[in-house]
Structures are given as C-alpha cells and as structure tokens.
C-alpha cells in the first residue's frame, strides 16, 4: 500500500521504517522542526515511572521496554544501556512517598527492591548522606533520543522511504493509508484531544560519575538524573501548562537545586544546555494508537513516554495499517 506518515520524530520514523520493511511504499512528511524528543532524556523506565491508577500504561511500557534491546540492536548505536533505576528521597516525607510507590509497584508485580541506607550508598556513593533509604529496579534502561532519531533517519533512507514537506490539512495527502504521528501537532490535523505540556531539561558534563538512573524526590518534587555512557548528565524535567518556548530562570534553578540536593557533586559540573520541549498529552495519559476513520491511523499522545513506547507503537501501527487492506 501507499502509506503517508505525517511526523518525523522517533514514533513517525519507527512506523515508517517498519512499514517499509513490510514492503509498503512509504512517504514521511516533516515540517522540519524539533519535537519533544529533542528535549527528552530517553528514560526507559516502566517501573520508576509507574503512576497510581495507570495500570494499562504500565503494561504497555513494560512490553515495549522488553522489546527495546532487539530494537536497538537492529538500529545500531542509539545509546541503549541497562542502567537500572534508583528511587531516592531527601526528606522523611520523600522517603515515605517512595515506600508508597514501592508498595504500588509490588502490587503490579513489578520487580523493585527496597534498599537500606548502606545499600543505596553502595550503589551510588555520590548521593548525599541524607539519602537514608530507597528502592532499586534493574529492568529500567535508557537510550539517547537524538542518536535514535539519527539512526532511524538513516534506516528509513536505506529502506527506500521517500520524504516530503509539511502537511497542513490531511486532505492534501495522497495515500491509501495516512498515519499521523505529529506529536502536539496531531490535534490540529485530527481534532483529537492532545495538548502540549511544557518541560525543561538540562545537560551537564564533568560532574560525578553515576551508574544508575536516579529518580529522586526532593521536598515533594520529582527530579531525574540520567547519566550517559559518554559522560553527559541529563537532568529533568519541569512540567507546566504554559506554551512559552523559552527556558525560564525558575525552571533551571529548580532542576539544578534538586539535582544538587541529591548529588552534591553536580555543582562541579559544566552546564552545557537547557532545552524546552512540549510533551503531547491526552486526558488519561494513554497514547492514542488506533484507526480514527477508514484510511487514517493516529499514533500520538505519548506524553512522557514516547521514547519508551517507540517499538510497541511501530508494531501496533503496522498491524493497524495492514488490517486496512
């Protein structure tokens, strides 16, 4: 079939790649802008990110993260690493929140272990001494979203995928099936309830060497630290409903303060970048990956989980497109 994919982020490119591998004639339409993936830290963390009441989302994340090793191996170097996640807190209230999350994760059958203060410090000596207890899960991993897009761009080119410019109206598209994977732009094209949630991430170099993903709680706020194998440290992420694309002094201050509260050595790192992105969110935080009407498939609304859900979404879209035969 002739398939048009609207959107050239990780989701759109992965869908195009898989569809081309199945023998379809695929064209990717791009507006040339950088999506939420450019700011994303690339956490593949179905356990550390498991949220109360989001059972179905957690199931999708676990399934997709299990597919990530083979997906990454097929693409090449995308920065995939099995880092595992440490959940740690600063105050007694933060630590109580971790215990509550761990109880919830246990109820879902997710692999997470309680750690004593000694065990936490053994795993990450750079953590500040006030971190007295925490939890650990080994299945969480990471990938570099920017490398991922580079490798997917090469893969779709090698698979014979054509490229075209921006789509402003779906009536412009000449294809048997159209897949809309345009992130926040999907709302304007389809009318679906997808809205932007603004987030800032920081990139640092030269700080303490960490070996795990750190999911921290600092005075009730969430912060994460993602150490890249090449020495970069990604710190994120703020979450607001405003649409200003410029980084804010308050957001940068909050992230740096919370990162330093967990890992004091972060203050010695070199600040290299602050990035603002807009996560495509839905009312229930579940992605919309389905047939909207005959000939139109949507793969959007992944919110915080677009990178983690990329393999699952691509396979799901192939199934939906081929069911339209």
pLDDT band at 302 (very low <50, low <70, confident <90, very high): very high
- pLDDT tens across 259-300, in order? 999 999 999 999 999 999 999 999 999 999 999 999 999 999
Domain boundaries, given as residue ranges, for the chain: 1-80+141-194+282-325, 85-138+195-280
Closest CA to 307 of 145, 104, 180, 70: 145
The share of the chain scoring above pLDDT 70, in percent, equals 99
Question: Tell me, what DSSP letter sits at residue 39?
Answer: T
Closest CA to 9 of 259, 280, 322, 273: 280
Any idea which fold 1-80+141-194+282-325 has? FAD/NAD(P)-binding domain (3.50.50)
Cα(274)–Cα(204) distance, rounded to whole angstroms?
9
pLDDT band at 195 (very low <50, low <70, confident <90, very high): very high
CATH, range 85-138+195-280: 3.30.9.10
Encoded tokens for 201: 């991430």
Encoded tokens for 322: 């081929």
Quick check: 206 and 78 in contact, CB under 8 A? no
pTM: 0.94
Number of Cβ within 10 Å of residue 54's Cβ equals: 16
- pLDDT tens across 214-262, in order? 999 888 888 999 999 889 999 998 999 989 999 999 999 999 999 999 9
Cα(91)–Cα(14) distance, rounded to whole angstroms?
41
Q: Are 1-80+141-194+282-325 and 85-138+195-280 equal in CATH topology?
A: no
**Which helix (H) or strand (E) is 249 found in, with range?**
helix 249-262
């Amino acid at each position: 079939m002739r398939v048009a994919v609207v959107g050239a982020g990780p989701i759109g490119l992965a869908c195009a790649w898989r569809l081309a591998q199945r023998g379809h004639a695929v064209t990717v339409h791009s507006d040339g802008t950088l999506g939420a993936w450019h700011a994303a830290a690339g956490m593949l963390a179905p356990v550390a990110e498991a949220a109360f009441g989001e059972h179905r989302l957690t199931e999708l994340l676990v399934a997709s993260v299990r597919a990530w090793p083979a997906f990454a191996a097929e693409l090449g170097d995308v920065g995939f690493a099995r880092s595992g996640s440490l959940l740690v807190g600063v105050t007694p209230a933060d630590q109580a929140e971790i215990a509550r999350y761990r109880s919830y994760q246990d109820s879902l059958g997710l692999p997470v272990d309680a750690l004593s203060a000694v065990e936490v410090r053994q795993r990450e000596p750079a953590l500040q001494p006030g971190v007295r207890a925490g939890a650990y899960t080994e299945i969480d991993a990471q990938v570099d979203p920017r490398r991922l897009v580079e490798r997917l761009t090469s893969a779709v080119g090698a698979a014979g995928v054509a490229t075209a410019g921006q789509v402003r109206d779906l009536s412009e598209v000449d294809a048997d099936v159209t897949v809309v994977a345009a992130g926040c732009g999907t709302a304007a094209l389809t009318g679906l309830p997808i809205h932007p949630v603004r987030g800032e991430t920081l990139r640092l170099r030269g700080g303490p060497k960490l070996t795990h993903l750190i999911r921290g709680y600092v005075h009730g706020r969430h912060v994460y630290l993602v150490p890249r194998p090449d020495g970069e440290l990604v710190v994120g992420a703020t979450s607001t409903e405003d649409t200003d694309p410029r980084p804010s002094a308050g957001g940068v201050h909050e992230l740096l303060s919370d990162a330093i509260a967990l890992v004091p050595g972060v203050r010695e790192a070199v600040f290299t970048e602050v990035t603002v992105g807009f996560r495509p969110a839905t009312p229930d935080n579940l992605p919309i990956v389905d047939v909207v009407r005959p000939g139109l498939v949507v793969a959007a609304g992944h919110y915080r989980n677009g990178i983690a859900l990329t393999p699952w979404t691509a396979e799901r879209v192939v199934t939906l497109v081929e069911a339209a035969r």
